[in-house]
Amino acid sequence: KQEVTQIPAALSVPEGENLVLNCSFTDSAIYNLQWFRQDPGKGLTSLLLIQSSQREQTSGRLNASLDKSSGRSTLYIAASQPGDSATYLCAVDSGYALNFGKGTSLLVTP
């Protein structure tokens, strides 16, 4: 069974800092990995999708990398802003179901 772990569980940073969120998974036989953002009480917003054949994807201030062999992905957020405050979820697709970590709760203070 695929296990997904996200570290840290919570993070508080001042505005402007660059930060890294970590995701690890136990089974490297994956189709793709998706990073989501979730605001309190809301649904999930897809941020980045990395196919299993890719090493990284970029969107604006976000960059996600994937190392299948070591079972790791990182989400890099550049120049953080208070509007980035949310929970960030990593999800591994092993065929159809997404297996999620518990998320990293990010607070960016002005």
Partner 1 sequence: DTGVSQNPRHKITKRGQNVTFRCDPISEHNRLYWYRQTLGQGPEFLTYFQNEAQLEKSRLLSDRFSAERPKGSFSTLEIQRTEQGDSAMYLCASSITGGALFYQGQYFGPGTRLTVT
Q: Provide the binding-site residues for partner 1, judged by CB under 8 A.
A: 4, 32, 34, 36, 41-46, 49, 51, 53, 89, 91, 93, 96-103
Nearest to 25 by CA among 63, 64, 65, 69: 69
Q: Which is nearer to partner 1, 43 or 110 (CB)?
A: 43
Instruction: Provide the minimum distance between the beta carbon of 66 and partner 1 in the complex, in angstroms, as a whole number.
Output: 13
Instruction: Provide the minimum distance between the beta carbon of 15 and partner 1 in the complex, in angstroms, as a whole number.
Output: 26
Residue 4, exposed/middle/buried by CB under 10 A (0-12, 13-18, 19+)? buried
Instruction: Provide the minimum distance between the beta carbon of 49 and partner 1 in the complex, in angstroms, as a whole number.
Output: 4
Q: Which is nearer to partner 1, 42 or 55 (CB)?
A: 42
Name the phi and psi angles at 51, rounded to 5.
-70, 155
Q: Which is nearer to partner 1, 18 or 46 (CB)?
A: 46
**Helices H / strands E in the chain, number of each:** 0, 11
